[in-house]
């Protein structure tokens, strides 16, 4: 079996504080994997600049001139982590046998990349990096994360618990992933749908090397809801259930009020009436809001707008030049 060409895809958004360290450490990993004959010498690091506002792209360009492993993909504007990651995967898959995706903050343990490759050599098409524990998280983040995975399981969405976007995928697994054309990407849910043989590698997550997290609470909640609404209509069914429940309670209340009126025990009920109106009005607004979210997703899906636009691509250009050199040599 020929040594596979590996590309490590690293989405970046304002990562100038951590870029050089990330590039150095991942380059060292590639050197070790090449020395152990696990990957080809043509393997690369592909940094995807997701419309950064700092010096991230300048650093990528500069490093690519000194480090033969480093290549860059500059997107025309910020399109979000998932779309930037997909851009990197689609670009890397053209010239790679397998691709590993990892965030730029060095929180994922890069030492287990060797274990990823060993699983690949064993015949696995997808290898998930799974956190051994969440001890480094705050109590709130740990509790909400556990609750999120349990909720997703209850509504029928199959995720790999404690897995983010640190994974290896073979070329054929990526080709199947690219057949999913939706605009609203939630790769943690899409990858398990691909199928093929998969394995898990457990590791302990580290503290962020430098800079600030790009996922504050607001973005985390939005990302979670995107995941739920992209794979399940459970929220709409929940609102429907609440609507039926409220209607049933209203009928009981109406029967009770009628009986009281017939018995001559009518009591002024202004407070209860106002509370009931507010309650039902709130349910209606909630229902409209959730349905609106789904309609909004449909709106963007049917437009079929491109997920991203590439401004510069040193990965494909470099590979093409290499092929030209090989052709001339022959």
Strands 70-75 and 310-313: antiparallel
Position 194 scores a pLDDT of: 85
| 10: β partners | 47
Task: Determine the pLDDT at residue 138.
Answer: 64
- Main-chain phi, psi angles of 70, to 5 degrees: -85, 130
Residue 221: CB atoms within 10 A of its CB come to: 12
Residue-level pLDDT at 324:
40
Fold assignment, 6-231 = Spore Coat Polysaccharide Biosynthesis Protein SpsA; Chain A (3.90.550)
CB 19, CB 56: distance < 8 Å: yes
Stretches in the chain below the pLDDT threshold 50:
319-330
pTM listed for this prediction: 0.70
pLDDT value of residue 82: 87
Rounded distance between C-alpha atoms, residue 26 and residue 35, angstroms: 14
Of 88, 112, 98, which Cα lies nearest the Cα of 29? 112
How far is 282 from 279, CA to CA, in rounded Å?
5
State the pLDDT at residue 155.
67
């Amino acid at each position: 079996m020929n040594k596979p060409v590996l590309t490590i895809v690293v989405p970046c958004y304002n990562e100038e504080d951590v870029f050089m360290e990330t590039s150095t450490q991942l380059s060292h990993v590639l050197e070790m994997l090449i020395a152990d004959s696990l990957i080809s010498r043509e393997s690369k690091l592909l940094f995807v600049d997701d419309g950064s506002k700092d010096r991230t792209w300048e650093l990528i360009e500069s490093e690519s001139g000194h480090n033969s492993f480093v290549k860059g993909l500059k997107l025309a504007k910020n399109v979000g982590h998932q779309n930037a990651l997909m851009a990197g995967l689609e670009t890397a898959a053209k010239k790679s046998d397998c691709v590993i995706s990892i965030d730029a903050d060095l929180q994922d343990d890069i030492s287990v990349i060797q274990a990823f490759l060993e699983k690949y050599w064993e015949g696995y098409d997808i290898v998930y990096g799974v956190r051994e524990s969440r001890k480094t998280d705050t109590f709130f983040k740990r509790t909400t994360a556990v609750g999120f995975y349990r909720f997703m399981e209850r509504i029928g969405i199959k995720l790999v618990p404690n897995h983010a976007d640190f994974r290896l995928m073979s070329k054929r697994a990526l080709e199947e992933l690219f057949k999913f054309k939706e605009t609203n990407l939630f790769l943690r849910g899409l990858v398990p749908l691909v199928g093929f043989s998969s394995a898990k590698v457990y590791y302990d997550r580290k503290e962020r090397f430098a800079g600030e997290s790009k996922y504050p609470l607001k973005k985390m909640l939005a990302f979670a809801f995107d995941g739920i609404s992209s794979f399940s209509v459970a929220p709409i069914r929940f609102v429907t259930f609440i609507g039926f429940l409220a209607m049933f309670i209203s009928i009981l209340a109406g029967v009770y009020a009628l009986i009281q009126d017939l018995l001559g025990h009518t009591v002024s009920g202004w407070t209860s009436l106002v509370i009931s109106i507010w309650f039902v009005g709130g349910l209606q607004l909630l229902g409209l809001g959730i349905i609106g979210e789904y309609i909004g997703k449909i709106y963007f899906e049917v437009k079929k707008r491109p997920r991203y636009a590439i401004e510069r691509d040193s990965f494909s250009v470099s590979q093409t030049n290499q092929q030209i050199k090989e052709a001339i040599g022959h």
